[in-house]
């Protein structure tokens, strides 16, 4: 059964007794609905595919037909979990999930994901009149082919040792601490407009450590998904107080540093 997007929106407005708050960690919106848990109720039958369970337990695996739009040819699956009967999650999906459906009695939430889909989600709830309902069924919907452009590859701060083998940091050979301690060396070209060399030479390197991979400081660390690109990490063996350091450069010309709350400036 096919539905026009306007019909779906109208249904969402009519059935507005369900909460419109974001229903999960990775969703962009949620449509409240009633009745069925079939993915084909909310998009074209010829495209959408489904995997799910009508009797979710604390944890398990759901499987579904092969998505011809992804790289593999072995069918699709995902792990799921249900906490307290009201909070669902899924992970390790073998194909991008376009939207998910949670069902509780006659109430349904259609959880919509960004273009390109997601491979995992957490904190999935079906909320009606401010109350989280017991989840009777979970469906994961895929195959729409809404493929987002791939993100640019993350940049790195290379190791100084590797740069020395290639001629140094902007032709400057770096002497790293002999005791094996880690250091980040920055190279600012004071005579250049943007303070770095535009010939592709790295701005910095790190001593006595492998290359540092770019991360996202706005993504919280997730022990279940350690490869999510988060910058915050567990404390582990980290020592010393948390001190933010700022380096300011402008065209006046002077340079300022703020370390431990103390700001100092130097002209050049």
What is the longest distance spanned by two Cα atoms in the chain? 71
Tokens 């919106």 found at: 29
Tell me what pLDDT residue 152 has.
Answer: 74
Tell me what pLDDT residue 17 has.
Answer: 37
Tell me what pLDDT residue 197 has.
Answer: 67
Q: If 0-12 CB within 10 Å is exposed, 13-18 middle and 19+ buried, where does residue 59 land?
A: exposed
Write out the DSSP string of 11-79: HHHHTTTB--S--SSS-SEEEEEES---GGGSS-TTT-EEEEESS--SEEEEEE---TTSS--S-EEEE
Tell me what pLDDT residue 23 has.
Answer: 67
Tell me what pLDDT residue 21 has.
Answer: 47
Tell me what pLDDT residue 55 has.
Answer: 93
CA atoms within 13 A on the CB side of 28: 10
Tell me what pLDDT residue 250 has.
Answer: 78
Tell me what pLDDT residue 140 has.
Answer: 97
Q: Tens-digit pLDDT profile for the chain (268 aa)?
A: 344 332 333 333 333 333 444 569 999 999 888 778 899 999 888 899 999 999 999 999 999 999 988 877 888 999 999 999 999 999 999 999 999 999 999 899 999 999 889 999 999 999 988 899 999 999 999 999 876 566 677 788 999 999 999 888 888 899 999 999 999 999 888 887 777 766 667 789 999 999 998 888 888 887 777 777 888 776 655 555 567 888 888 767 888 999 888 999 999 8
Tell me what pLDDT residue 48 has.
Answer: 94
DSSP state for residue 253 in the 8-state scheme: S
pTM across the whole model: 0.52
Tell me what pLDDT residue 241 has.
Answer: 58
């Amino acid at each position: 059964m096919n539905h026009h997007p306007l019909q779906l929106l109208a249904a969402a407005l009519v059935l507005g007794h369900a909460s419109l708050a974001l229903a999960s960690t990775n969703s962009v919106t949620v449509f409240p609905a009633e009745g069925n848990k079939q993915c084909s109720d909310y998009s074209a039958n010829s495209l959408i595919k489904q995997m799910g369970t009508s009797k979710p337990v604390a944890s398990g695996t759901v499987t579904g037909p092969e998505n011809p739009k992804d790289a593999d040819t072995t069918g699709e699956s995902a792990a799921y979990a249900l906490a307290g009967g009201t909070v669902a999650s899924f992970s390790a999906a073998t194909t991008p999930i376009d939207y998910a459906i949670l069902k509780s009695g006659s109430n349904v939430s259609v959880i919509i994901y960004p273009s390109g889909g997601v491979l995992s989600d957490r904190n999935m709830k079906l909320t009606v009149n401010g109350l989280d309902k017991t989840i009777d069924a979970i469906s994961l919907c895929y195959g729409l082919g809404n493929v987002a452009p791939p993100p640019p590859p993350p940049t790195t701060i290379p190791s100084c040792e590797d740069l020395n083998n290639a001629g140094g940091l902007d032709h400057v050979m770096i002497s790293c601490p002999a005791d094996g301690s880690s250091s980040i060396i920055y190279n600012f070209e004071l005579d250049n407009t943007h303070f770095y060399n535009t010939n592709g030479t790295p701005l910095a390197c790190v001593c006595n450590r492998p290359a540092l991979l770019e991360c996202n400081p706005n993504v919280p660390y997730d022990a279940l998904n350690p490869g999510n690109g988060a910058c915050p990490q567990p404390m582990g063996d980290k020592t010393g107080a948390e001190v933010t350091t700022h380096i300011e450069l402008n065209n006046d010309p002077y340079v300022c540093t703020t370390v431990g709350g103390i700001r100092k400036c130097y002209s050049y």
